[in-house]
Chain A
């Protein structure tokens, strides 16, 4: 269950601080993948960062960020298990989804609400292996 409003307020600053760090790390590592410099360590880090962002967003009740990061986690897990190859178009799509997450974090910071990210969710779902 999500936190009470009182607890959400208490942990919001910590959430935003760590969420921004994960988003920045995810972007940096995705850009590294774009250069063709792919190591298992980079894929592992992408998977762990998306996993952590999804978990902490779920507990705070920020559902759109949780949905997008959870899909990113599944995509990186599929890539890690070699069930998925990430094309340049897909990498661009993943970066676009992270830009939407950034907008969402801005919204959370200012108004405690987050826009829906249904377009990104639909796109990321289409990347998953059937």
Chain B
């Protein structure tokens, strides 16, 4: 399985990519939305984990561009949120995100189960 993790925070990027690789998942990372979109030219993931608040292009901009590129139906996106971002989560859902993960309340097994659910064939 392949995951693209788009997250500007170095700590979270390292933390989640380490945890995902421990599950033998191939992980590519990008430090902002612009870099994340560029990475898609050479790496097509099964799932994208996308932070919302980022420099350059934020998570909303990325979702809008993914929709324009007609990638959203086949590329499930989970947004990374923190407490108090309920409005942002709703906005992301409207823009096509499949769900969210509260990145500050660590429950890796829950995240992993959610990822597996998203890549499960219909």
List A residues at the B interface (Cβ < 8 Å): 1-3, 11, 14-15, 18-19, 44-45, 47-48, 51-52, 54-56, 58-59, 66, 70, 74
Contact = CB atoms under 8 A, between A and B. Distances in A.
Contact of B104 (A19, A48, A58): A58
Give the dominant DSSP class at A's interface: helix
Contact of B15 (A11, A19, A45): A11
Interface residues of B, number: 18
Contacts of A2: 106
A51 B105 CA distance: 14
Give the dominant DSSP class at B's interface: loop
Contact of A59 (B10, B54, B106): B106
A51 B11 contact: no
Interface of B: 8-12, 14-15, 53-55, 82-84, 103-107
A18 B10 contact: yes
Counting from the closest, the 7 A-B pairs by CB-CB distance are A58-B104, A56-B11, A52-B9, A18-B11, A55-B104, A55-B82, A18-B10
A55 B106 CA distance: 11
Contact of A51 (B10, B15, B53): B53
A52 B52 CA distance: 11
